[in-house]
Amino acid sequence: MNMHRATQAYQQINISSEIEHASPHRLISMLFEGALKQTATAKGALSRNDIEARGLAISRAIAIVGELQACLRDLETNPVSANLFALYEYVLRCLIEANLQGNVNKLDEVLNILVEIKSGWDAIPEEQRTAIKKENNNPSSVNP
Number of domains forming the structure of the chain: 1
- The one-letter amino acid code at 59 reads S
**Does some domain include residue 14?**
no
The rounded distance, in Å, linking the Cα atoms of 2 and 83 is 47
**Does some domain include residue 4?**
no
CA 107, 56, 35, 14 dihedral sign is negative
pLDDT of residue 24: 86
**Does some domain include residue 5?**
no
**Does some domain include residue 8?**
no
In CATH, what number is assigned to the domain containing residue 27? 1.20.120.340
Looking at the chain, list the stretches that DSSP marks H as alpha helix, in order from N- to C-terminal side: 3-21, 24-47, 51-70, 79-101, 104-122, 126-135
Residuewise pLDDT in 10s, the chain (144 residues): 565 565 555 555 555 556 676 788 889 999 999 999 999 999 999 999 999 999 999 999 999 999 999 999 999 999 999 999 999 999 999 999 999 999 999 999 999 999 999 999 999 898 887 765 555 555 445 566
**Does some domain include residue 2?**
no
Contact in structure between 97 and 57 (CB atoms under 8 Å): no
Cα(first)–Cα(last) distance of the chain, in Å?
39
**Does some domain include residue 88?**
yes
Q: Residues 6 or more apart from 92 whose CB is under 8 A from it?
A: 62, 65, 66, 69
**Does some domain include residue 13?**
no
* Residue 46: domain span: 21-141
**Does some domain include residue 120?**
yes
pLDDT of residue 15: 57
Cα–chain-centroid distance for residue 4?
A: 25
- CA separation, residue 97 to residues 37, 41, 43, 61 (Å): 18, 16, 13, 13
Half-sphere exposure of 117 (CA within 13 A, CB side): 27
